Chain A
């Protein structure tokens, strides 16, 4: 469609726009790669604002985009030193259906760094069966002792009478 350099700057602008939407507009970054489809452009629309802390204005651009996940990496300097973030945008039928900003930090996070950056959000979290996931431990609410379980069962049966 257009030449690759033009596409890169449009994608860059759109992803910057996306970062503005998630409140991280102060960062400069370069786009490192696409999903392999090449010359496509990103269009954002209001569906991205389903995240509660996101601004509602969305940049729009011309063009049709192939479904897929687009990724950009951003570099910035925090009080703790140079850091890198990874922005990922998933498009389905020209609509951003998912976006995330992932930390790439390798040093322990300092309190100061936590204060400087907004939290990340993810909607529509789902579960996967434990036996389908590679894990060695599980963390959730504490298992209850037998005495507790017996008492709960007793009051439930009393309530049912």
Chain B
């Protein structure tokens, strides 16, 4: 168990670093897909089986496909490295040191404060669905409205805006009708 977790955690962190460091956005997208599959593996280990499946289907299967479509359609070139100035480097080191100073006592507390689980959780689709459709019915319906609004918004933002020019009598010439289709 610990070996599985250590392996998955290592791949998760390594692929996240790879997303940040790769210059080619296509390689970053593929590293992010690997990261999301690792997150799904950790969900499965935390007894969240339904969420692991939803993670693969929604995140790795839909959102990342959308991102890959975008990278393919926009024909992105490889990003060039920009040299970091000396001031920014010093500021970065200072911020990192300050962050470590804050983080280490927090980590010492975290190991004692969070209670470990007593009984295994039932994170199946049946259990999640039972709560989703009774207690969380209203947020569920609002979420469906939200997705609908997002669809309409995305289409409106991304579509091309054609203007159709008509004559003074209100008729639209045939060539303009063809161009706006």
Q: Answer whether A and B are interacting partners.
A: no
